[in-house]
Structure 1
Amino acid sequence: MKLTHILASAGILLSVFADASANDANNILQQVRDRNDGKDYMSTVTLKTLSDDSLLNQRQFYMLQKDIDQDEVMVLAIKAPADVRDISFLMRSFDEGTAQEDEQWMYLPAFRKVRRISATDKRGAFMGSEYSYYDLDKLRVTDFDSKIVKSESVNDVETHVIERTPKSQDVINKSGYYKLVTWVDKDRKLILKQQYFDAKGILFKQLDVDKVDKIQGFWTITASTMTNFIENKKSTFLFHETLYNQGIEDAIFRKSKLKRGIKDSDVAELIKISELE
């Protein structure tokens, strides 16, 4: 066989393997996106940001989430400290098949206005933390070219390690990321670790899942940390009083309800109903 034929055959095989890796990676990521997390979800959240272990700020808020039709909607309502109390957010993740851009809205009580967070604004820091608004969006499979690069253990849990590169400049513009490396729990289909790289290929940020608990039969991330290596800062999400399938009304997730926010009484009533069932 001629060398050119051997090289051509090798090229075809490499192409087949590359396509297979991409398909496998996309299937795994789709399972992460579609993982069963109940009809609705609620949690009380503490968000801490530190620099050299010194506390810079701390936020407390309610997080409510629900599947409505083919979309996933989430409301975040800040309850402390006083200077940011009653700021609230609405996030809607559309079925990727519709090719619609996910939406984020924010209510600022000082201005008594609800404004949309544009795609490019999603690179901004969420409430002064190391998490960006983009980081809060639901995982999008089709925005990236993905491939499995290896298997690796994370805290004694076997994971797929998937390398992801943006498909377009638009994705880079809204995310600020030029490459992601993602560690996916093989069994539970949870992202346990993720690294973020800039235009020069420098690792500048890393997400680590610190704790996973099983709540009402659902594997649930209850603590995670985002570390910014450039700024030498880190932010930690801590989730408390997490409950699933509480029968949260659709009306809570309307944009028109953002000004009212989520009150302590709303959460207390949902917990009361849960206890009665």
Structure 2
Amino acid sequence: MNGVIECVSQLNISPEERGQSLYNQSTQHGPLLGYGSPGYKDSQSSFVAVITDAEGREKHREVRVKYLETAATGNKRLLIFDKPLDLKRHALLTVSYPKKKDEHWAYNPENRQVKRLLSNNAATPFSGSEFNFEDLSSQDLAKYDYHFEREDKLNGIPIRVVSRFPKDENSAYERLETWIDAQTFLIQKIDYYDREGELLKTLTASDYQLYADKYWRANTINIKNHQTGNSTQLVWSNYQFDTGLTEKDFTLASLRNAH
């Protein structure tokens, strides 16, 4: 039924409008990488990252995630490293804005310094993974232009393919081809194309689970760099919602006491 409603409602709109509408529905149903969706004020979760190079060598990370929905002052997400030991208590605070660049603040416990990361370094890899700081930034609607590309199938699932074109001139990408389940509106895959229009990497989201009878989340996210052969897998767990976090938990001062 969802597919019928979507088909009828999209008959008289442009490919650009249809693309934006589809992507908006996908973010409402199941956002990726620790971001929120309507219906709650805060959440906590964790993930294990397995970073594999082209020769098969692995590095592991264990990270906790805290998220706060505060539209007036920018939504906030805090990543806190637990393992390996040489990264323990390193932290990254992201403040997200719908119409301007996100702010990233990193804390190094060795010198107890909080450093703001430059916005033009969005393509810098995060902790040696295939995710860069742009990938970890918010994916707000206003930061992209959209175009509905086609109907397709992925593993037998009907798909709506939407291209997103970053408005940021410092973006690492020419476009992000986003594969959205036509029935559930959950993102199944994202193909990232570099500034030359070449396929750079592919993200796949799987093992979706419904939490608290309301919130869909992908428990497994894989990303493969086609140009280097490197890959990263994130396995998510311990989702909690409405845990009582406040803005005090996301200040620069709180970074030094992240635990």
* Paired residues for 1:1-277 under 5 Å: 20-34=14-28, 35-36=37-38, 38-52=40-54, 54-70=56-72, 71-94=74-97, 96=98, 99-167=99-167, 171-173=168-170, 175-217=171-213, 218-261=215-258, 263=259
Structure 2 vs 1, CA of residues 67 and 188 (structure 1 numbering), >3 Å: closer, same or farther? farther
**Greater CA drift, 218-227 or 100-109:** 100-109
Amino acid of the structure 1 residue aligned with 2:202: Q
> Residues 151 and 37 of structure 1: is their aligned pair in 2 closer, same or farther, counting only changes over 3 Å?
farther
> How many Å apart are 1:18 and its aligned residue?
11
| Counterpart code for 1:28 | L
After TM superposition, the runs of 4+ consecutive aligned structure 1 residues lying more than 6 A away are none
- SS of 2:122 mapped into structure 1: helix
Tell me: higher relative CO, structure 1 or 2? Use CA pairs within 8 A at least 6 residues apart: 2
Task: Give the letter aligned to residue 32 of structure 1.
Answer: S
Matched residue of 2:173: which SS?
coil
8 Å CA contact 1:39–1:67 kept in 2: the answer is yes
Structure 1 residues 135, 87: CA separation in 2 closer, same or farther (over 3 Å shift)? same
Contact in 1 for aligned 2:54/2:228 (Cα 8 Å):
no
State the distance in 1 between where 2:174 and 2:12 align: 20
Distance in 1, matches of 2:184 and 2:55, equals 31
TM-score by length of structure 1 reads: 0.79
Q: Deviations over 1:179-237 (max 9, x none)?
A: 22111233443322111112332111111113211111211111101100111010011
SS at match of 1:126: coil
Structure with more of its chain in helix, by fraction: 1
The whole-number CA distance in structure 2 between the counterparts of 1:157 and 1:245 is 33
Distance 2:103 2:66 in 1: 16
TM-score by length of 2: 0.85
The two structures, once aligned, show a CA RMSD in angstroms of 2.1
Unaligned runs of 5+ in 2: 1-10, 29-36
Q: Secondary structure at the match of 2:140?
A: coil
